[in-house]
Structures are given as structure tokens and as C-alpha cells.
Structure 1
């Protein structure tokens, strides 16, 4: 399907949280291009320079500020709620609760007061499932959050899934797989390590990781906001199949013309170190050199059956993981985020 299919109705007004992030910034650009009236909440410290010239109504403040939400919600037809305080070492547990849970509650209750409100798209994460014992898993798989980030993601998702049907609020939950694509920084270190020919790995590199290209994810979010059959449903948004860590490293190496070697490390001591560093670093507000979520990236299987979005909504991803990872690797090189040796 072409991108043009994934559009909000003409004259729509949409509220986007997390609009300055990797995924949010692409979503608001697409919506503005469609002629949608976009209102976005941004922290006072957020850099809005990349959005200069775009017709976006920015409201500065906290996403859990009730007065700010009541102002932002005026005339809104759609909410795309994806804000997250991703791995901020200075943030206390209550901060994760406020951003994930409290903001969801305030936004949903405010949306009920808007007579022309259409749908609340709540963005969760596949991380709520934890390690997949017998992959692939689907939307019904048990939840097993591993830290405060995932715990509050679970709490927010379960709350809106309970609240919305009781109150007559139209909603859809989207659990994205690992988001990647040009502009992403979360996976940048892996690409840099491949270029330097040495990549730390726990185990043999056969652990599974599920991806979704940011272009496909933002298209799916728009689809989820408008498709009648998305009402009240939960969707895992990911590529048709997972990929092994070893395969990803091989693809990146092909682009950079190198053959990376694995530096094999033991899992148990690293998990223990991660736990210790998190305990020690959190009170000091500094980033732990090792933390359990990063160790889990190298050890946990994250593989899902993503057929629901295809079978129910007819949504098919446009980007293959192989081509998408190659595209991302080349983009990093073009931006000189990865320094390639000149021939």
C-alpha cells in the first residue's frame, strides 16, 4: 500500500505527545504534510529548531499537567500518545509514573469531553512481554516487565484498556517492536562497533530481535487511528519475522565492508554488574556504564507473530529489515556518525 492511503480525514486536528522524539518527529511531519492541524506538547527544554517552518502548535510544559492538557485537547479529533522519559538516570520512579500513567489518565478523561473526538492511539512497547520463552509470541502473551520503565508502560496500557470501554472512549493500543531507521540513535553504537570490527556479544548471537522501520510504524499508527476494525484492539507492530543479532551484524558489516568479530562475554556476571551499577548510579543521577536492559538486548528473545495487523487491518510493511538496516547504515555514514576509512 502507498503512503497516501495512511491519512487522517481532511480537516482533522491531532494531539501528539512525544513529538520531538525519533518516531514522533516523523509522525508530525507526515500529519502536517497531509494538512492536519497538529498540536504537540513539548518540555520547556526541548529543541524545536528542527521543526521550524512546520505548522505545529507547540505547548510547552509537562505532559501530565492537567491545565496544559485541557488547553491542548480543545477541538482535537485524534490523540497519538507516545511520550516517554527513555532511560533518564536522573528520573525517579514517580517520574516514570507521571509520564506514562498519569498523563494517559488525564488525556483519556479530557478526550471524553470533546464532542468530535475520534480515537486515542496509545503507544506501548513489546518490552512489556519481557523474554519470549517459546517464540514467536502474539498480543495475548503474558506480560513480564523488567524495570520501572516497562512496569509503568504496562500500568498505563492496562488502565486505558479498562477505562476506555467502560466510558465509551475509542482507542487502539500499539506495541512497537524495536524501532529503527535514519535518524535513530539508540542502535548507533552497534553500527559503530561493527565498523570498528569488534562487537560484544553474550552467547552466540542467535538471540532474536524484532524490528519495525519508523516509516512503517508511523504509517501503522495513522492506520490504527482511522481503521474501523482497530477499535478497542491491541496490535504488535513489527516486521513479518524477527532477525538474529548475528544476522544484523552481518548486514551492517556488508555495508561497511568489514567482517566484525564477536567479543563473547558471560551473561550472569553482566546482569549482576548491571544491577549493582543501577543501584549505585541512580541516587547520583548518572548513567550506569552497564544496565540490565542493555544486557537483555543481547540475551533475550524478542520474536513475535505480527500477523494480526495484516489479517485485521490489511497493513503490510513497506520496508524489509535487510534493506532498512542497509539504509540506516548508509545514513549513519553519510552523517559521519560512523567514520568509514577512505579507500
Structure 2
């Protein structure tokens, strides 16, 4: 039976018009005439039996149905484009993996090592998009996720990669800073907080048996890369795992005023949906990634004992 799907041309015209809220700008983007866009939209509305736009004196506006349809259509067209470009780029011979990754880990740890995996498995293409919070695999096209937090996503396998061992870091020019400070002295510095690890400073001070009155105060930033840059700009002291900022530490942009870490129950995991766990390309990537993160010579050990 023929599927109830509109033409691709009509969907492309609708998506562009919905994004721009303008038939004229959609026509410019797609190198069509405005009348061609109008015909495509009218045909789509007739096909659906629903008005997608309201015509006003100032142009066009999405109806409620149009807004909902645009939210559904846009990511699907993006996915078709990605799949098409992948086939074109690799002539259909590559096996692609789509990973959701936490951004700084991917940029600073994974990508510098990924060339080793590609040299061993040139037939596998690894695509990455950033995700910092849990999600449902059934609602995405991701094959796996590299995630920091707790294991136990429903319907998945969790493969332990590594713990974090964050230490205080700051600019050597930050007022009141020096190497060899005690945790109590660090408590007097302006603290930079990470929104995805809101209790990190509290846990660090508790591990050091220090009561800090303002352990939850300070600027909040989402990513380690943001924290590192804020620390470089002398905005405060941040808790960051050294393996993510090796260049900044080696170059003297950041120092560790107190080389002390703390134990954490949370960790980095490779999260794999059970329905994809036996996929050969994913199995090869998992085996390589687990071995790489468990390498005793890798930069994943704590900078100093938490005891």
C-alpha cells in the first residue's frame, strides 16, 4: 500500500517557509519563485486537510497545527540530509555511528585519540553531536552516547569508561592565589560553579573536612570549556579534571592552587541501547574506547590523593 507521505518538494518548501516565516525568503533560499512556494504550500495543506499558515497583511504566520508539524518535519529532513551526505561522501561503503557526546570530553580527550580508531577501522565513520543530559534513544537516531553521570538508563547497556578527578584550577594572576594553598584558603577565593555538577564544590570541601560558607555561590557555567576560559580570565577558581586542560596547565594559563581531588560516585559511561548492542561497528568502537580509557598510562588518574 502506498505510504501517506507528502512530496519532498512540498516538505522542503514548508520547512523553509516555517523557519523564515516568509514565503519570499523561502523562495530565495530554495532558488524558486514565490508563486512556486505558494503552490507547494497550498498543495501540502490540501494533502493534509489542515491550514498551516495564516495569511496576514504583514505576511504569513504559522497556525498552531503548522507549528506542531514544523517541529516534527524539520528534524526528519535534517536526518535525511545527513544520511544522504554520508552515503555521498563514502560511496555507500562506510558503516556510520552516530554518537551523542559530552562536549569537552569529546573535544579534549576523544577526538585527539580517534585517529587511532580510524586507522584500525577505516570502514567505520564516527559522527558526533553534543548532548549534556539523558535522553530516550527511541526518540533519536543516536547509536550510543558518551555520558557523565550515573548508569542505568532504561533499555541500555552501560560500559564504564573512567571517573573524574577534578582539582581546583585558576589563573596564576588571580588575586590571592598561589600554589600550595590549603582547602580552607581556597574557600576564600571566588568559586566558579558548573551547572551540570551543582554540588561539586560542596563535595570537594566535605572531602577535605572544610566547612565553606559560600560553597554553592558564584557564577554558573555549563561546560568545562566555559569554566576553563572563565578561570583563565581571572573570574575565579574552577573544579576541572586535569586531563581536560593539559594544554592550559602546561602553558601556564592555569595552575592548581591546591592539588587535591575528591572521590565521586559518578563517572563517564558509554551508553548503548540494547537493541543495537550486537551491531558489529558499535562493538568494535566500544572495545576500542573501553581499552583506551582503561589504559594505565592514559591521563585519567587523579592529580593528588583525596585522602
TM-score tier after normalising by the smaller chain length: under 0.3
Give the TM-score normalised by the residue count of structure 2: 0.25
**Higher radius of gyration, 1 or 2:** 2
Give the TM-score normalised by the residue count of structure 1: 0.23
